[in-house]
Amino acid sequence: PITPGELLCLGSSLAFSGLFYYLYRKKARVVARIQEAPKLQVDDNLPALVSAADGRCLPYVALEGIVLPAKAALTSHYHEGLQGVIQKLLLKEHRLIWNSLARSW
């Protein structure tokens, strides 16, 4: 005979397995889309391509080209000969309004 505790454990195990399989398949689809991303060269045609795209955005695109640092390239402390640059960041602050119902900004 199967006890109610064993049924509960079996049911929760199946539910968690289903949830994790769903999350795995979702991430696998994202990885497949990234691997199938078109490779574009950084050249004069790129701005025209972006402006012609839907919503002026190219999802999952691999850009290939030469990047020059503004001052000096960053060198890795862990891998000899590996260098990199930092992308210029734009910070946009939104106006904060106090919500007295939720008691948060």
Q: Facing residues of 51 across strands? A: none
- For the chain, percent of residues with pLDDT exceeding 70: 94
> From start to end of the chain, where are the E strands?
39-41, 62-64, 74-75, 83-84
The pTM of the full predicted model, rounded to 2 decimals, is 0.48
Query: What is the SS3 assignment for 82?
Result: coil
- The domains of the chain are located at 4-84
Give residue-wise pLDDT tens across range 11-53: 999 999 999 999 999 999 989 988 888 888 888 888 898 888 8
Q: Which residue has the higher pLDDT, 76 or 59?
A: 76
Count Cβ atoms within 10 A of the Cβ of residue 61 and give its class: 0-12 exposed, 13-18 middle, 19 or more buried.
middle
In whole angstroms, give the CA distance from residue 34 to residue 21: 20
